[in-house]
Chains A and B, each alone.
Chain A
Amino acid sequence: MTITRLPDLKFNDIERNQAKMKEFQSQKCMKIVTDEDVLQAMEWTGKLAESIGFLYTDQLLLRLVTEEAIVNAREYSSEDGQNEVKINWNFTHKVLVISVKQLGAFYSINKKEDINYGLRGRGLQLILNIMEEVWLEQEEANKITLHMKKCLNDERER
């Protein structure tokens, strides 16, 4: 498991949909408390992905990553008796990084190849297979952040 700090991503001028991107530049962070917050975060991810230029299928998959990461964080945080989850979006015209911060300690984020026939346990595997880079960061003693990065593939998307 590689642990690295999130690199500083600048909000560069966007070649397409600059008006839409300004809307998202002001929505960098969101606290997640209710199910409606989760749906709102998914909606923001989808719109942001569309503005960057991801294909519709990838927009849906990025929404899925958002839902899975937040739901996992809420479940894990609530095990500790508290529930503090935040989501953050960092982006350039080609890169989207979704970061979900929660209370808790490090956990394993390894891809698995075996088939899961059960009811649970697919959320993290979906994230690891959809996103190009996934890593955990510990900024404070009992808080971790899951960072998930996807790049716009010029050959596929444009």
Chain B
Amino acid sequence: MLKNLTDTIEVLEWSENITLKSVEPFRQAMNKLVNGTKQQLILNLASTNYINSAGLGIIADSAMEARRNQKELVITDIQQSVKEIFSIVKFTSFMKIFESEQEAIAYFMVNHNETENI
């Protein structure tokens, strides 16, 4: 489910595991998030405890695509199993991951204010 939080922040709350049956809807949802009008993007994985390699590829590609378009994609609320998967594929080396949506919003608020003050 996509939700607009502010003028600049949009959140995708993904509500299921990402496996071979559900990877295509996930791809479409991420495309919609990344290609939308907002610059600050949050992927909330609170309800996801399993992501296959195709899903990981979609997340990585989306993060890079966002960056190419002066946007930023961050991830929040990851479960322990997903944390282990992310650690294996070294996602923390090129994506910010927050414990909660609130932390991500606070991060974006600080960054947005800093940009405005320049």
Binding site for B on A (CB under 8 A): 35, 38-39, 42, 56-57, 60-61, 63-64, 67-68, 71, 115-123, 125-126, 129-130
Contacts and interface: CB of A to CB of B under 8 A. Distances in A.
A35 B81 contact: no
B94 A61 contact: no
Given A117-B94, A130-B88, A63 B50 contact: yes
Nearest to A123: B53
Contacts of A61: 81, 84-85
19 contacts: A39-B19, A57-B80, A57-B81, A57-B84, A60-B49, A61-B81, A63-B50, A67-B19, A67-B20, A67-B52, A68-B52, A71-B20, A71-B53, A117-B60, A118-B61, A119-B57, A120-B53, A122-B89, A126-B85
A119 B85 contact: no
Contacts of B54: 120
Given A57-B84, A125-B88, A120 B52 contact: no
Contacts of B58: 119
Cβ-closest 10 pairs across A and B: A119-B57, A122-B53, A123-B53, A60-B81, A129-B88, A57-B81, A119-B61, A115-B90, A60-B50, A57-B80
Nearest to B82: A60
A39 B21 contact: yes
Interface in B30-51: 49-50
B52 A116 contact: no
The secondary-structure label for the interface of chain B is: helix
Interface of B: 19-21, 49-50, 52-54, 56-58, 60-61, 64, 80-81, 84-85, 88-90, 93-94
A49 to B, nearest CB: 13
A63 B50 CA distance: 9
Contacts of A120: 53-54, 57
A38 B22 CA distance: 13
Contacts of A56: 81
A133 to B, nearest CB: 16
A122 B57 contact: yes
Contacts of B53: 68, 71, 120-123, 126
Nearest to A42: B19
A118 B52 contact: no
Contacts of A122: 53, 56-57, 89
Contact of B88 (A57, A118, A126): A126
Given A71-B20, A71-B52, A129-B88, 18 more contacts: A38-B20, A56-B81, A61-B85, A64-B50, A67-B20, A68-B53, A116-B89, A117-B61, A118-B57, A119-B57, A119-B58, A120-B54, A121-B53, A122-B89, A126-B53, A126-B88, A126-B89, A130-B88
